[in-house]
Amino acid sequence: MNSLAEPVARVSIDLGPRSYDILIGSGLLDAPASWSDLPDATTAAIVTDSNVAPLYAGRLKASLSAKYPKTTLIQLPSGEAHKDWAAMNSIFDALLGSGCDRKTLLFALGGGVVGDVTGFAAACYMRGVAYVQIPTTLLAQVDSSVGGKTAINHALGKNMIGAFYQPLRVVADIDTLRSLPKREVAAGLAEVIKYAPIADASFLGWLEEHLDELLALDASALQTAVRRSCEIKAIVVGRDEREEGLRAILNFGHTFGHAIETGLGHGQWLHGEAVGCGMVMAADLSARLGLIDAGYASRLKALIAAAGLPVRGPDSLKVDRYLELMRMDKKAHGGEIRFVVLEAVGRAGVRTAPDGLVTQVIEANSA
């Protein structure tokens, strides 16, 4: 427990009957108050992975026990390679095998993969049961656990199969971030940094000022960064739950980034690393389209590099393969690639761009 802990922050996502809160603070995992007002359930099923289980599963089970006397622990293999139907089906096997009914509550304890697979499993099990996100990585706390996008991967593309399905609550215990390897912290910072150029010009300055504290896992700085990220995501998701317009801006850097992840094979670069590099490319594209100053793109690139993220695409991935992969992006319409670009400092939009210009961007920003 952090003796200098800030009070627990609460960010609300306003989606009518599907509204919910994100709790952000220290010690939340062990606090029965984190769950006491959730609905009753016949069984609480904790879904986690082989990395996270030894660290936190026992503590979560103890913390839930006052509210849910019966808990089932479901452990998935860890890693993006297991964000697939086999993992989903192992959840279904366990739920059906232990007689879990429609009043079962799932608790997704882990990073983005656990959250995405568990959320999609909750969406599909008996046509939908409730679930709670307990993200234990920075990336999951600031991005994937919030907003109800759930999915598994398909051989032909990342996150191609899934559902919009909102959790009942997100509980982000920032103490869990202390167990993260440095590389995962940097990957999470990519999604934190993302919010500045697309929605909050002043947040970029705050990040430049507090980057060292964030990299040192200072609790107060982390709580502020997670809270501000969730606030921005809450506004965007509240306006466009099903990604019919505005929400696409949250994919800034992701069109290039997904191409890098899929092109190299999942597991080579972390998602956040690919997004970091993808944001450099997307900012460069925005500058070449005349939307922002080259100076702002450079400033963003410097922050991404200082966070320990790659700023050049992998040597092995060629332009044609980028274009091929980006044409399968979910934002594409009729084979035309749509990029999230910066339309000004702190404002993003979705545009098409000539293949020639995209080629220049990829070549200028590859190793």
Residues designated catalytic? 127, 149, 191, 233, 243, 247, 251, 254, 258, 271
How far apart are CB 311 and a copy of itself at their closest, in Å?
30
C-alpha span between 72 and 220 (Å, rounded): 34
**Rounded to the nearest whole angstrom, what is the least distance from the CB of residue 95 to a copy of itself in the complex?**
9
By the rule CB under 8 A, 327 interacts with a copy of itself: yes
**DSSP helix/strand/coil, 337:** coil
Cβ-Cβ contacts under 8 Å for 358 (sequence gap 6 or more) = 285, 322, 323, 337, 339
Span near a copy of itself by CB under 8 A; candidates 91-99, 105-113, 282-290, 345-353 = 91-99
Q: How far is the CB of 133 from a copy of itself (least distance, A)?
A: 17
The alpha carbon torsion through 140, 142, 143, 144 (nearest 10 deg) reads 20
In this complex, which beta carbon is closest to a copy of itself, that of residue 150 or of residue 229? 150
If you compute the radius of gyration of the chain from its CA atoms, what whole number of angstroms results?
20
Taking the complex as a whole, the smallest distance from the CB of residue 259 to a copy of itself amounts, in Å, to 15
Determine if 330 is a binding residue for a copy of itself (CB under 8 A).
Answer: yes
State the greatest distance between any 2 C-alpha atoms of the chain, in Å, as a whole number.
61
C-beta of 101 vs 209, nearer to a copy of itself: 101
- What's the CA gap between 230 and 169, in Å, rounded? 13
Pull the structure tokens for residue 176: 């869990």
Question: Should residue 97 be labelled a site residue for a copy of itself when binding is judged by CB under 8 A?
Answer: yes
Among 10, 66, 101, 355, binds a copy of itself (CB under 8 A): 101
Give 93 or 212: the residue with its C-beta nearer to a copy of itself.
93
Q: Which long-range contacts (CB under 8 A, 24 or more apart) does 81-88 make?
A: 81/266, 81/267, 82/49, 82/113, 82/117, 83/113, 83/116, 83/117, 83/151, 83/152, 83/153, 84/152, 84/153, 85/152, 85/161, 87/117, 87/152, 88/117, 88/120, 88/121, 88/124, 88/152
From 146-154, 270-278, 309-317, 341-349, give the range in contact with a copy of itself by CB under 8 A: 146-154
Stretch in the footprint of a copy of itself (CB under 8 A) among 98-106, 181-189, 289-297, 344-352: 98-106
Residue whose CB is less far from a copy of itself, 56 or 165: 165
Q: Minimum Å distance from CB 233 to a copy of itself?
A: 17
Q: Is 241 in the site for a copy of itself (CB under 8 A)?
A: no
CB nearer to a copy of itself: pick between 191 and 241: 241
Q: CB–CB of 260/314 below 8 Å? A: yes
**Residues near 79 by Cβ (< 8 Å), separated by ≥ 6?**
49, 113, 267
Selected binder of a copy of itself within 10, 33, 85, 205 (CB under 8 A): 85
- In sequence order, what are the residues at sequence separation of 6 or more whose Cβ sits closer than 8 angstroms to the Cβ of residue 251? 331, 340
Binding site for a copy of itself (CB under 8 A): 42, 85, 89, 92-93, 96-97, 99, 101-103, 123-128, 149-151, 154, 156-157, 160-164, 242-243, 327-328, 330, 332-335
